[in-house]
């Protein structure tokens, strides 16, 4: 028997083609798409305007599959984290951050990460694999399920914004990320505007142009250092794509203007990258780019080499950047108590499976 395919995650044009090849008229794609991504149904039986025999046929060929929630945690600040299990047993996490005027879902693009940024816990975990488009869209759908946010509301959504800032480097899984975001942006389904989506990269320069041209979402760049020698250490990818190339790619990123700025992320590491000289060099480096600087207090993890800068140092750094004309908000750490803050993802589940492993080894 051939395995059924998950219909979630198939690009709209590919689905239309598959249907036409199977003798299903084109207008059915639109209807089925609406049921899947606007209404959020989980069974072909719940599509009443689709003839019974076609529902049967669809059910014979496809499933409507979401990742399984193997653990759901909620922080004292309302942040939620879901550990999701995929069909092969691999796991990744996504996080929902509620704010007064919006709710942001932080999606993962890979299980683990091949890059080894010194301050990032995810970077210490070896990459297991890229996530598929279905697994990326699935994270969004699981969050929408949790808030019972179907059919797609036109306003006041719990899941109103996306940041591709979870586990993994999204531009190392470009095809699947692009496919997933196009599904999420489709106006007849989940319908999230590209302006509500931000993709964060550690600086995969050759893919940044394609990201702008083919997906067109907002760009965040994990800068973290303003000199190549330091950035080579903190973000080793810098050895391949140094600051000059990175900043040039930011300058030409399509669609950037004063209303759509590039976000530069800068993790505040005590005594490493947080001096006034660094702040002034940062301003010089990005001059002319419509940008805002997001200062991220370092989130420590066991055996990490760094400490977070003091609040006074962060304030002084922020002030220099602000006075040079850039918005320089300090990112409030959210969900630290459930290990959901930046750079902490997957750590809990890895630690748990290790302890599980040792208890198994001990014959418990």
* Positions that interact with ligand SAH (CB under 6 A): 117, 119-120, 165, 169, 200-202, 222, 265, 267, 296, 298-299, 342-343
Comparison of 161 and 202: residue with beta carbon closer to ligand SAH: 202
Provide, rounded to whole angstroms, the least separation between the CB of residue 299 and ligand SF4. Answer: 11
Residue 260: HSE in the Cβ half-sphere, 13 Å Cα cutoff: 17
Phi, psi angles (nearest 5°) of residue 289? -95, 125
Question: How many Cβ atoms from other residues are within 10 Å of residue 284's Cβ?
Answer: 10
Phi, psi angles (nearest 5°) of residue 196? -100, 5
298 binds, among ligand SAH, ligand SF4, none (CB under 5 to 8 A by kind): ligand SAH
Provide, rounded to whole angstroms, the least separation between the CB of residue 143 and ligand SAH. Answer: 18
The residue from 169, 265, 274, 348 that contacts ligand SF4 (CB under 6 A) is 169
- Those residues whose C-beta lies under 8 Å from the C-beta of residue 20, and which sit 6 or more positions away, are 26
The residue from 122, 132, 273, 328 that contacts ligand SF4 (CB under 6 A) is 122
Comparison of 29 and 202: residue with beta carbon closer to ligand SAH: 202
Provide, rounded to whole angstroms, the least separation between the CB of residue 181 and ligand SF4. Answer: 18
Contact stretch for ligand SF4 (CB under 6 A) within 71-79, 116-124, 154-162, 238-246: 116-124
Provide, rounded to whole angstroms, the least separation between the CB of residue 346 and ligand SF4. Answer: 10
Burial of 340 (0-12, 13-18, 19+ CB in 10 A): buried
Comparison of 135 and 169: residue with beta carbon closer to ligand SF4: 169
Q: Establish if 47 lies at the interface with ligand SF4 (CB under 6 A).
A: no
- From residue 279 to residue 318, the character string flagging contacts with ligand SF4 as x (rule: CB under 6 A) and all else as - is ----------------------------------------
- Those residues whose C-beta lies under 8 Å from the C-beta of residue 261, and which sit 6 or more positions away, are 290, 291, 292
Provide, rounded to whole angstroms, the least separation between the CB of residue 274 and ligand SAH. Answer: 13
The catalytic residue among 16, 91, 93, 135 is 93
Helix H or strand E encompassing 296: strand 291-297
d(CA 208, CA 264): 14
Before 151, cis peptide (omega within 30)?
yes
Q: Is 342 a catalytic residue?
A: yes
Q: Is 250 a catalytic residue?
A: no
Torsion of CA 158, 100, 298, 141, to 10 degrees: 0
- 3-class secondary-structure state, position 119: coil
Q: Which of the residues are catalytic?
A: 93, 342
């Amino acid at each position: 028997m051939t395995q059924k395919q998950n219909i979630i995650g198939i690009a709209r044009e590919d689905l239309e083609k598959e249907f036409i090849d199977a003798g299903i008229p084109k207008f059915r794609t639109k209807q089925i798409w609406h049921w899947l991504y606007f209404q959020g149904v989980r069974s072909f039986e719940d599509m009443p305007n689709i003839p019974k025999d076609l529902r049967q046929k669809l059910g014979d060929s496809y499933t409507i599959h979401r990742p399984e929630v193997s653990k759901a945690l909620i922080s004292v600040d309302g942040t939620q984290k879901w550990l999701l299990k995929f069909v092969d047993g691999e796991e990744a996490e996504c996080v929902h951050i509620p704010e007064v005027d919006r709710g942001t879902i932080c999606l993962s693009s890979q299980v683990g990460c091949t890059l080894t940024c010194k301050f990032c816990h995810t970077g210490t975990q070896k990459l297991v694999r890229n996530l598929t488009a279905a697994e990326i869209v699935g994270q969004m759908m699981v969050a929408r399920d949790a808030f019972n946010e179907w059919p797609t509301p036109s306003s006041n959504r719990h899941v109103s914004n996306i940041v591709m800032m979870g586990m993994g480097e999204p531009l190392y899984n470009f095809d699947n990320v692009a496919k997933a975001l196009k599904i999420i942006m489709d106006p007849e389904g989940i319908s999230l505007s590209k302006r509500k989506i931000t993709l964060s990269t550690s600086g995969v320069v050759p893919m940044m142009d394609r990201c702008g041209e083919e997906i067109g979402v907002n760009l965040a760049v994990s800068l973290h250092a303003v000199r190549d020698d330091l950035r080579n250490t903190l973000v080793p990818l810098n050895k391949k794509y140094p600051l000059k190339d990175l900043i040039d790619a930011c300058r030409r990123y399509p669609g950037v203007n004063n209303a759509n700025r590039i976000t530069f992320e800068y993790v505040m590491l005590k005594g490493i990258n947080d001096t006034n000289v660094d702040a002034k060099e940062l301003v010089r480096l990005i001059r002319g780019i419509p940008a805002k600087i997001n200062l991220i207090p370092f989130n420590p993890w066991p055996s990490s080499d760094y400490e977070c800068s003091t609040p006074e140092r962060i304030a002084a750094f922020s002030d220099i950047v602000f006075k040079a004309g850039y918005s320089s908000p300090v990112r409030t750490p959210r969900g630290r108590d459930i290990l959901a803050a930046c750079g902490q993802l997957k750590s809990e589940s890895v630690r748990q499976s290790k302890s599980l492993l040792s208890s198994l080894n001990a014959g418990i």
